[in-house]
Amino acid sequence: MECKVAVIPGDGIGPEIIREAKKVLDKVGQTYGHTFHYTEVLMGGCSIDAYGVPLTDEALETAKANDAVLLGAVGGDVGNSRWYQVAPNLRPEAGLLAIRKGLNLFANMRPAYLYKELADACPLKKEIIGNGFDMVIMRELTGGLYFGERYTKEIDGLMTAVDTLTYNENEIRRIAVKAFDIAMKRRKKVTSVDKANVLDSSRLWRKVVEEVAKDYPEVTLNHMLVDNCAMQLVMNPGQFDVVLTENMFGDILSDEASMITGSIGMLSSASLNETKFGMYEPSHGSAPDIAGKDIANPIATVLSAAMMLRYSFDLDQEAAAVEAAVQKVLTEGWRTADIMAEGCTKVGTTEMGDLIAARI
């Protein structure tokens, strides 16, 4: 198969982790007879340096012309970087929001899975971890507070800032359908998270999710308020299969879910639209403090590439081979610094990529 992939290394550790993911993809190509054609695209701080904006129209068009996008991470040190001395719509993160919206990537899947090899890195007590957990956060990605009308102005002599949270029923329906579809391939349970005791948008969310649920009689649906969900994630994470939620709640809960897996350096993500097109990126950020030191964990990016194989190219067997290679490397005791434990062998970014590629 010929696979056209737009690659956005981005900033900070982005280029290093992307290099390792490409190494693994190329090994998949050799082993299974596929060719990956990469086109590099600038986004984030590096695009600001080159063009003065975090995402150019040309970059967006190039992304669209490919079958999928593989993204490292964008952004710098908010306190120190020149990239943050400009208006909010010109900062690195604005590029990320623009590409999500521009490609209509409304469904963001963030799996949070506890590898038994990493159970010691999980901050939860053993009795809470139990038999571990394996959940997917399905976060709405192109609506809600992130994209609502916002402004800051003086009203009645007081500086006032407004952000609006808007969802229409179609936006809710299409993400709910994605969540139920994924649940059908998993343990058939959807937990829809909202704040229906306060917000109108959440009450509509609940109503539409219930309508969608009628088409999936095999899936069990339960509703949970977001504050309770934040608590349940650290009290009984094993109860979750698919967590369906709006953009801002999903942003917060997915960081929490990732932390209980032991390291955010392990978590992949896929952002999908109605077609096979998707953007795949690690759930973590650009970590400028460790950039260029060959210590970043490339596993989240490698696993994101596996998601790309599965969801954009229907290469299930190849995706499973990448996931199995990661599992094998962990079982054999290889660790990057963030997941290092007693009795294991510490390796850098490049060596971790070599180890994974060699097991495919």
**Residue 146 is among the residues annotated as catalytic for this protein:** yes
Question: Residue with the closest Cβ to Mg ion?
Answer: 251
Instruction: Pick one of Mg ion, ligand IPM, none as the site partner of residue 96 (Cβ within 5 to 8 A by kind).
Output: ligand IPM
Instruction: Pick one of Mg ion, ligand IPM, none as the site partner of residue 68 (Cβ within 5 to 8 A by kind).
Output: none
Between CA 144 and CA 136 the distance in angstroms is 20
Distances (CA, A) of 199 to 17, 166, 179, 194, 291: 40, 10, 22, 8, 41
Nearer to ligand IPM among residue 96 and residue 243 (C-beta): 96
- Minimum Å distance from CB 141 to Mg ion? 11
Q: In 10 A of CB 138, how many CB atoms?
A: 29
**Residue 188 is among the residues annotated as catalytic for this protein:** no
Instruction: Pick one of Mg ion, ligand IPM, none as the site partner of residue 171 (Cβ within 5 to 8 A by kind).
Output: none
- Minimum Å distance from CB 284 to ligand IPM? 9
Between CA 338 and CA 133 the distance in angstroms is 20
281 is a contact residue toward Mg ion (CB under 5 A)? no
96 is a contact residue toward ligand IPM (CB under 6 A)? yes
Catalytic residue among 77, 134, 255, 294: 255
**Residue 227 is among the residues annotated as catalytic for this protein:** yes
Catalytic residue among 84, 115, 146, 216: 146
**Residue 189 is among the residues annotated as catalytic for this protein:** no
Residue 140 three-state SS: strand
Structure-token pair, residue 82: 């020149």
Nearer to ligand IPM among residue 96 and residue 291 (C-beta): 96
Between CA 9 and CA 16 the distance in angstroms is 8
Question: Residue with the closest Cβ to ligand IPM?
Answer: 93
Structure-token pair, residue 261: 């897996």
Instruction: Pick one of ligand IPM, Mg ion, none as the site partner of residue 93 (Cβ within 5 to 8 A by kind).
Output: ligand IPM
Q: In 10 A of CB 109, how many CB atoms?
A: 23
11 is a contact residue toward ligand IPM (CB under 6 A)? no
Instruction: Pick one of Mg ion, ligand IPM, none as the site partner of residue 221 (Cβ within 5 to 8 A by kind).
Output: none
Instruction: Pick one of ligand IPM, Mg ion, none as the site partner of residue 117 (Cβ within 5 to 8 A by kind).
Output: none
Residue of the chain from 251, 281, 318, 338 that contacts Mg ion (CB under 5 A):
251
Between CA 333 and CA 122 the distance in angstroms is 17
Give the up-direction half-sphere exposure of residue 235: CA atoms within 13 A in the CB hemisphere. 6
**Residue 195 is among the residues annotated as catalytic for this protein:** yes
Residues within window 204-233 making contact with Mg ion, judged by CB under 5 A: none
Between CA 49 and CA 43 the distance in angstroms is 10
Nearer to Mg ion among residue 260 and residue 355 (C-beta): 260
Catalytic residue among 163, 215, 227, 316: 227
- Minimum Å distance from CB 283 to Mg ion? 7
Strand ranges across the sheet with 220-225: 35-40, 2-10, 68-73, 278-280, 270-272, 107-113, 134-140, 242-245, 189-194, 220-225
Instruction: Pick one of Mg ion, ligand IPM, none as the site partner of residue 241 (Cβ within 5 to 8 A by kind).
Output: none
Residue of the chain from 11, 93, 246, 338 that contacts ligand IPM (CB under 6 A):
93
- The DSSP annotation for 179-219 comes to HHHHHHTTTSEEEEEE-TTT-HHHHHHHHHHHHHHTT-TTS
Give the up-direction half-sphere exposure of residue 313: CA atoms within 13 A in the CB hemisphere. 29
Q: Which of 147, 138, 224 is nearest to 177 (CA)?
A: 138
Residue of the chain from 11, 20, 251, 318 that contacts ligand IPM (CB under 6 A):
251
Between CA 354 and CA 360 the distance in angstroms is 10
Catalytic residue among 251, 280, 311, 338: 251
What are the residue numbers of the active site?
A: 146, 195, 227, 251, 255
Q: Where do contacts with Mg ion occur on this chain (CB under 5 A)?
A: 251
Q: Where do contacts with ligand IPM occur on this chain (CB under 6 A)?
A: 93, 96, 251
